[in-house]
Amino acid sequence: MSSTEARIVIDLDLPGPTISRHLYGHFAEHLGRCIYGGFWVGEDSPLPNVNGIRSDVVEALKTLRIPNLRWPGGCFADDYHWRDGIGPRAERPRMVNSHWGDVVEDNSFGTHEFMALCELLGADPYISGNVGSGTVREMSEWIEYLTRGDDSPMASLRRENGRDEPWKVPFWGLGNEAWGCGGGMRGNAFADLARQYATYVREHGGNKVYRIAAGANADDYTWTESLMKSLGEIKKCSNPPYQAISFHYYTMSGDWADKGDATSFTDEEYYTTLAQAYRVEEMLTRHSTVMDQRDPLRRIGLVLDEWGTWWNVEEGTNPGFLYQQNTMRDALVASLHFDSFHRHADRLVMANIAQTVNVLQAMVLTDPDSGALVLTPTYHVFEMNTGHHDAASLTTHVLDAEHREDLPLLSASASTTGDTALISLSNLDAGQARSVVLDLRGRSLQGHSARILTAGALNDHNSPEHPDTVRPQAYDGVRPHARGLVVDLPAHSYLTVSLQLGS
């Protein structure tokens, strides 16, 4: 281990804002093999399934306590007309998925299938409504179809299609990337449109709706300002037309023309990637600051409903399907994001990684030939962090940590629930191990345990042939110290320390 010893001060008796479980949300778009060949295999598939939904994918995600699932897009959402995806599957019209691969799909996975998937997962549905090519009436009728329980026209239509009871739909997106694929709009114009559409996303039968206006591309703070201005000054008694604003941010080592390779990269490209991931901290801070000007009480939420790594597709795959491998580097991108999310839990109410299965920084990869299911390194970071769900955040003061330019090489966050606490630690140094003192204050320590996720090489990943190359293990490199604990962190590693606390 390195002689360099950093220190992290944590006041265990000073809980802060709650870390919403919805910061660990997911995203499933009609893109590549995320829906078709990922979640949806059809009822005639030889793979075990529940009414066409692949069983082992569901079971893997239930382990993550997946809190919500965003669907049907993404860019696809603003081409999607929900009535095409209801009724007998054999009678549903086909459509062209012009954004992703220019393929024709048969709409066999639609509203009823998605809601059944959410029920199997135990996840809240987050539906992204069509503002780009749809109509106000279309969106209004969709939420009526989903959530109304009497004999209204849309509730009656739902019953004709086999569902008697209405569903609960707590989250509703007003468009997607309205500045780009969702309509090529300008901020002020979309702000008025978002208010209009939000007015018609009505609450039926006691179903409370949290409306999320499509927000900025990365660091476009002007877009956020336009949406906030349209709401006026938010006071305690305000009833704004939408309750949150989103933004999107992707991480890569190159640019949009050449994003970098998922598994073949240099140490320099590794550090560039993590530095880009760390930029999310600045964006969360600055979007929040813009919102604070009109909403100092933070009644309007901030949502990062697309984030993650975006690499060049794997060789031999459809460029429009966005299939990529997932290495130890991706796992550390995820851990770095979560530490930022925890620090901004007073404003950030939801985040959705892109995407859940077979697309971009996926949790799960499925092999189209063998049918094998692979859990990615990123999956394991999500699983190791489940203890942070709905826990009270704890401020972590990281002292004496080394930096590589603007990138701190040690990242940490912590939370507490009752008599337990969970500390997440990432050593981002590609080659250097280090020791970290956990300076624990305010409550006594009764016991501890630790798990670690690391790999022999930065580009190590899991495959059908080698599914456990990168997986978490119990770790004994945590020892008592006069200030609390000392942790030996190997190079490029992610670790969680669970604490049992006294008074």
Helix intervals (H) in 40-110: 55-63
pLDDT at 1: 43
Name the CATH superfamily, with its identifier, for domain 21-258+298-389.
Glycosidases (3.20.20.80)
Tell me the C-alpha distance between 209 and 171, whole Å: 6
Is the Cβ–Cβ distance between 324 and 311 less than 8 Å? Answer: yes
Residue among 498, 446, 447 nearest 472 (CA): 498
Distance, CA of 174 to chain centre: 18
Answer positive or negative: Cα dihedral of 335, 455, 465, 323. positive
Out of 1.10.1740.10, 2.60.40.1180, 3.40.50.1260, 2.170.260.10, select the CATH number for domain 5-11+394-501.
2.60.40.1180
The pair of structure tokens assigned to 324 is 């990529």
pLDDT at 236: 67
Count other Cβ atoms within 10 Å, centred on residue 315: 6
Tell me the C-alpha distance between 34 and 38, whole Å: 5
Domain boundary assignment for the chain: 5-11+394-501, 21-258+298-389
Evaluate whether 5-11+394-501 and 21-258+298-389 have a shared fold.
Answer: no
The reply to whether the predicted model has a pTM over 0.85 is: yes
* Rg, the chain, Cα only: 23
Residues designated as active site: 177, 306
pLDDT averaged over 10-residue windows placed end to end, the chain, 503 residues: 75 97 98 97 96 98 98 97 97 94 95 98 98 97 97 97 98 97 95 96 96 98 96 78 97 96 97 98 98 94 98 95 97 98 98 98 96 97 98 95 91 98 98 96 97 98 97 97 96 98 92
